[in-house]
Amino acid sequence: MSNPFGTVPTEAILEGDATDAYFERTRTTLETAGKNPHVVAEVTADQFPTGEFDVLTGVKDVATLFEGRRVDVDAMPDGQLFDGGPVLRIEGPYLEFAELETSLLGFLSQPSGFATAALEARRAAPKSLVLSFGARHVHPSIAAVVERAALLAGLDGFSHVAAGDVLGREAGGTMPHALLFCFGEGNQPDAWDAFDEAVPEDVPRIALADTFWDEVSESLLAADTLGDRLDGVRIDTTSSRRGDFRHIIREVRWELDAHGYEDIDIFCSGGIDPDAIRTLRDVADGFGVGSHVTSAPSVDFSLDIVEIAGEPISKRGKLSGVKEVYRTPDGGHHVALANRDDPEDGESLLEPLVRDGEVVREFDLEAASERCLADAESVGFRSD
Ligand SMILES: O=P(O)(O)OC[C@H]1C[C@H](OP(=O)(O)OP(=O)(O)O)[C@H](O)[C@@H]1O
C-alpha cells in the first residue's frame, strides 16, 4: 500500500487537493462566470493588537505551498511574536490560490500553537534544561512539526528519533518505565547497570527513579549503583502518588546531597507545565514537557480578502484594506493601513516571502529561534 496510514499525501497538499470542498465549488462557479479578480488577502488571528502574544511558525511550509503560483506573498518572519493584524498577505488572481487556503491556515495554526506553548515552558525557566517529550501525543506524521516548534521556541532538545532525522538534530531522552519492568522489582540496579553498559558513552546516564519504590530510595540506590557514572535521576511520579511534588523533589535533592551525591541532577517529567516548572526550577535541574506543548490550542487564523481590484472590502467584523503591522520604538505592535508613509509607524514586520511564485527568503531555524527569544524578551512574553 502506498499510503498505509491513510494520511493526506504531500502531492495532494501541493496540488491544492488538501482543501475544503467548497473551494473547489468556488473555482467551478467563478470559472463558469468568467471571474478571477485580482485580490489582496490577509491571514489574521486578531484584527487589533491584543497585548497577548503568540509565536508565528509554519512560514517555510507556506512558502513551499505557494512556490510556482503566480502571486506575491509577504509574511512575518518565522518565530516572530505577534498580537494582532495580518501575519501574512497574498496578492494576485484569486484562483491562483483559492484552494490553498485550507492548507495555508493549517500550516500556520497548529504549529504556532505548539511553538507558543513551548515558549511558555522556555520562559518559565530560562536557565533550566527543558526537553520536548510529547511526540507520543500526536499523529506520528506531525512529530517533526512538534519538535521543530519546540526548538524554535528555544527548548534544548526533543525525544523523537525520526523527527531528528528530518531536523538534522540528535534526539535525546532518558529511559522508560518499560526498561525497569523488564528487569523486575528489586532488580533496578541491574537495569541501570545494563543501560550504562549498553548505550553509547555520549548518552547521559539519567536513571528513572520512581518505578517500584519511593523516589528517594530509588534515587539513592541509582547513585549507589552507578556512582560517578550517574548524571542524574528522572522523577516522573505518577499523579496518584504525586501530592506535594516540590517537597518530593526537595527531599530527593536533600538526601542525594546528604549522601555525597551533590553532582547528580534531578530531571522532572509527567504533566509538567509552566506553572510546575516555576514551582520546581530552583530545586530541579531539568524538565521533560509533553502534553503542555502538544495539547496547545491552534492559533485561530483566518484568511480574508481585504481588497478587490484595488478597492478595500471586508466582511462584517473584519477590517478592509491592505494593512501593515509595525513594531513601534517601545517594542509594541501597531496595525495601520499600508503605504501611509507615516513616520510614526515604525518598522514593518511583514517581509517578502514569494514574488511571482518564487520563494525569496532563506530559512534558518537557529536564527528564527534567536528572533523568537529576543522578541519574547522585548514584549515581556508571559514572564512571571
Ligand atoms: O506528556 P507529559 O505528561 O508532559 O509527559 C511526557 C513524559 C512523561 C511520560 O512518562 P510515562 O507515561 O510514565 O512514560 P514512560 O514510562 O515511557 O516514561 C514519558 O516519560 C514522557 O516522556
One-letter-per-residue 3-state SS of the chain: CCCCCCCCCHHHHHHCCCCCHHHHHHHHHHHHHCCCCEEEEEEECCCCCCCCCEECCCHHHHHHHHCCCCCEEEECCCCCEECCCEEEEEEEEHHHCHHHHHHHHHHHHHHHHHHHHHHHHHHHCCCCEEEECCHHHCCHHHHHHHHHHHHHCCCCEECCHHHHHHHCCCCCCCCCHHHHHHHCCCCHHHHHHHHHHHCCCCCCCEEECCCCCCHHHHHHHHHHHHHHHCCEEEECCCHHHHCCHHHHHHHHHHHHHHCCCCCCEEEEECCCCHHHHHHHCCCCCEEEECHHHHCCCCCCCEEEEEEECCEECCCCCCCCCCEEEEECCCCCEEEEECCCCCHHHCEECCEEEEECCEECCCCCHHHHHHHHHHHHHHHCCCCC
Using an 8 Å Cβ cutoff, are 171 and 158 in contact? Answer: yes
List average pLDDT for each run of 10 residues in the chain, which is 384 residues long.
Answer: 91 97 98 98 96 96 98 98 97 98 98 98 97 98 98 98 98 98 98 98 97 98 98 96 97 98 98 98 98 98 98 96 90 86 81 96 97 94 80
Here the cell at position 289 is: 514537557
Take atom 9 of ligand 1 and give the residue whose Cα is closest: 270
Distance CA 82, CA 59 (A): 14
Partner residues linked to 86 by β-bridges: 44
Cα of 46 from ligand 1 centre, angstroms: 35
Spatial strand order in the sheet of 72-75: 311-312, 302-308, 38-44, 86-93, 72-75, 351-355, 358-359
Largest interatomic CA distance in the chain: 82
Distance CA 359, CA 12 (A): 20
Cα of 315 from ligand 1 centre, angstroms: 45
Q: What is the pLDDT of residue 178?
A: 98
Take atom 18 of ligand 1 and give the residue whose Cα is closest: 176
Distance CA 313, CA 318 (A): 9
Please report the atom of ligand 1 found closest to the CA of residue 272. Answer: 4
Please report the atom of ligand 1 found closest to the CA of residue 133. Answer: 22
Cα of 269 from ligand 1 centre, angstroms: 7
Take atom 6 of ligand 1 and give the residue whose Cα is closest: 290
Here the cell at position 2 is: 502506498
CA dihedral 38, 39, 40, 43 (to 10 degrees): -140
Cα of 123 from ligand 1 centre, angstroms: 22
Question: Phi then psi for 358, rounded to 5 degrees?
Answer: -100, 130
Take atom 5 of ligand 1 and give the residue whose Cα is closest: 270
CA distances from 220 to 229, 246, 341 (A): 13, 18, 67
Q: For a substitution probing ligand 1, which of 114, 133, 159, 206 has the most ligand atoms within 8 Å of its CB?
A: 133
Cα of 259 from ligand 1 centre, angstroms: 28
Spatial strand order in the sheet of 347-348: 333-337, 323-327, 347-348
Take atom 12 of ligand 1 and give the residue whose Cα is closest: 270
Cα of 17 from ligand 1 centre, angstroms: 37
Please report the atom of ligand 1 found closest to the CA of residue 137. Answer: 1
Take atom 10 of ligand 1 and give the residue whose Cα is closest: 270
> Over the range 251-266, which residues count as b (16 or more CB within 10 Å of their CB) and which as e?
bbbebbeeeebeebbb
Ligand 1, residues at Cβ distance < 6 Å: 133-134, 137, 176-177, 236, 269-272, 288-291
Cα of 149 from ligand 1 centre, angstroms: 19
Distance CA 133, CA 299 (A): 21
Take atom 17 of ligand 1 and give the residue whose Cα is closest: 176
ipTM above 0.85, yes or no: yes
Please report the atom of ligand 1 found closest to the CA of residue 294. Answer: 1
Q: What is the pLDDT of residue 345?
A: 75
> Over the range 338-355, which residues count as b (16 or more CB within 10 Å of their CB) and which as e?
beeeeeebbeebbeebbe
Cα of 178 from ligand 1 centre, angstroms: 11
Question: Cell numbers 535521576 label which residue?
Answer: 233
Q: What is the pLDDT of residue 141?
A: 97
CA dihedral 148, 45, 116, 120 (to 10 degrees): 170
Cα of 291 from ligand 1 centre, angstroms: 9
Using an 8 Å Cβ cutoff, are 97 and 90 in contact? Answer: yes
